[in-house]
């Protein structure tokens, strides 16, 4: 329908069960179409065909099963929140397509939605967030709204809160004995604490803001002068910053964990002539190093064990544990609540089975919910 998007926008603004919208063309504003009037109306104003269409629409909105002759009936409807314009999305277009194809094989409807579909959440049984999350962001609002509507949600709101706060995460991992880089927290009042930090870790150091993502707000400093400049710059963005020891490795590990089980392991090499997986230019555009999955039995057992321990401290959702294998053993850098699952990278070992694992977990949770 050509006016479907307009109709949905009107309904989200005026959520009345039945409205009559009149359009007109041409006035002092020119020849453009505009809304001339919006009126509520009752069923009596509809003819027989209109009443039947209205009853079907009301039933669909309420989540009631609709008899559709000849159409396949799907067990559950899963909404996948994504941003088609996001440069560094957690899943590329190939992975989103595989989710839809594998979903149909499992008897599921997997539908892509975006930030404009907030009012539609109650139409679905589950929400899978495939967009970079943040607390002060619509992704967090979607998670909270979906949970309030009784949907199964990955990423759940609690996981978003925990994983996007690197100060909380660093303290959580340290208190539970998870090996991490030595980490310090600074604020403006701690400007004189640098000498104490220098006594414990050497340059270069890594300085970061608590809620950065995809290497945003993460910098490496080579001496005290650079530290002072970078710290001042980052403290303009955040009341707190983290200072960590720098650990060089040729590649990072990303361990995927779902429902307290490891489901994939991948290696991410540093981008060309850079110390991180993601290299950003002056305009914020990012270049990534190569990433590829490896069979779980080829990943170090102690690395997988520490990854699982770290993820389990957050919850039972889907997590990506970023790690380094160092001379002192595995080290957890951070836990992400919406890890990358990209076609051609994280699925390069399991293929479609990776998407089946994720979607079957949604089905398992939904089955438990509807017992």
Map residue 309 onto helix, strand or coil. Answer: helix
Q: Residue 8: pLDDT band by 50, 70, 90 thresholds?
A: confident
CATH number given to 76-161: 3.40.50.20
Q: In terms of Cα–Cα distance, which of 251, 234, 263 is closest to 340?
A: 263
**CATH 3.30.1490.20 domain span(s) along the chain:** 182-245
- CA-CA distances (angstroms) from residue 191 to 187, 197, 223, 244, 315? 7, 11, 15, 16, 35
Give 165's Cβ-side CA count (13 Å radius).
15
Residue showing tokens 């002068």: 225
Given this model, what pLDDT does residue 288 score? 64
Enter the tokens of residue 144.
Answer: 């909270």
Alpha helices in 14-165 (DSSP H): 48-61, 93-105, 138-148, 157-163
**CATH 3.30.470.20 domain span(s) along the chain:** 248-369
Q: Tell me: pLDDT of 233 over 80.
A: yes
Q: Residue 107: pLDDT band by 50, 70, 90 thresholds?
A: very high
Given this model, what pLDDT does residue 257 score? 98
Q: Residue 150: pLDDT band by 50, 70, 90 thresholds?
A: very high
Show Cβ contacts of residue 290 under 8 Å, excluding neighbours closer than 6 positions: 268, 269
Distance CA 64, CA 240 (A): 49
Cis peptide leading into residue 155 (ω within 30°): yes
- Is domain 182-245 given the CATH code 3.40.50.150 in the classification? no
Show Cβ contacts of residue 170 under 8 Å, excluding neighbours closer than 6 positions: 180, 183, 185, 242
Distance CA 128, CA 308 (A): 21
Phi-psi category of 118—alpha, beta or left, where left has phi over 0 and alpha has psi -120 to 50?
alpha
Residues paired with 330 in a beta bridge: 325
- Is domain 248-369 given the CATH code 3.90.1280.20 in the classification? no
Show Cβ contacts of residue 29 under 8 Å, excluding neighbours closer than 6 positions: none
- For the stretch 110-143, pLDDT in tens is 999 999 999 999 999 999 999 999 999 999 999 9
**CATH 3.40.50.20 domain span(s) along the chain:** 76-161
């Amino acid at each position: 329908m050509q006016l479907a998007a307009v109709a949905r926008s009107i309904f989200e603004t005026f959520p009345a069960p039945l409205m009559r919208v009149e359009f007109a063309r041409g006035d002092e504003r020119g020849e453009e179409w505009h809304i001339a009037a919006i009126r509520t109306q009752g069923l009596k104003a509809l003819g027989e065909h209109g009443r039947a269409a209205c009853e079907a629409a009301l039933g669909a909105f309420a989540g009631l099963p609709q008899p559709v002759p000849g159409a396949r009936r799907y067990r559950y409807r899963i909404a996948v929140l994504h941003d088609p314009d996001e440069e560094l999305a957690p899943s590329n277009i190939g992975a989103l397509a595989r989710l839809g194809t594998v979903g149909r094989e499992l008897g599921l409807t997997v539908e892509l939605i975006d930030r404009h579909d907030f009012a539609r959440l109650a139409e679905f049984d589950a929400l899978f967030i495939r967009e970079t999350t943040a607390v002060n962001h619509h992704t967090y609002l979607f998670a909270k709204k979906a949970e309030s509507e009784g949907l199964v949600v990955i990423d759940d709101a609690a996981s978003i809160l925990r994983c996007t706060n690197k100060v909380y995460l660093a303290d959580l991992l340290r208190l539970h004995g998870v090996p991490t880089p030595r980490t310090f927290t600074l604020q403006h009042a701690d400007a004189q604490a640098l000498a104490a930090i220098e006594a414990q870790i050497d340059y270069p150091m890594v300085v970061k803001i608590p809620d950065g993502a995809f290497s945003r707000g993460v910098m490496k400093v080579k001496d005290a002068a650079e530290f002072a400049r970078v710290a001042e710059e980052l403290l303009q963005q955040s009341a707190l910053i983290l200072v960590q020891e720098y650990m060089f490795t040729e590649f990072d590990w990303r361990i995927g964990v779902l429902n307290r089980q490891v489901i994939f392991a991948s290696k991410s090499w540093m981008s060309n002539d850079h110390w991180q997986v993601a290299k950003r230019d002056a305009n914020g555009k990012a270049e990534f190093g190569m990433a590829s999955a490896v069979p779980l039995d080829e990943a170090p057992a102690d690395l997988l064990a520490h990854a699982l321990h770290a993820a389990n401290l957050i919850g039972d959702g889907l997590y990506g544990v970023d790690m380094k294998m160092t001379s002192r053993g595995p080290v957890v850098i951070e836990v992400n609540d919406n890890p990358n699952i990209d076609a051609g990278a994280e699925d390069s070992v399991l293929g479609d089975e990776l998407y089946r694992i994720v979607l079957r977990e949604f089905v398992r949770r939904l089955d438990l919910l509807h017992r």
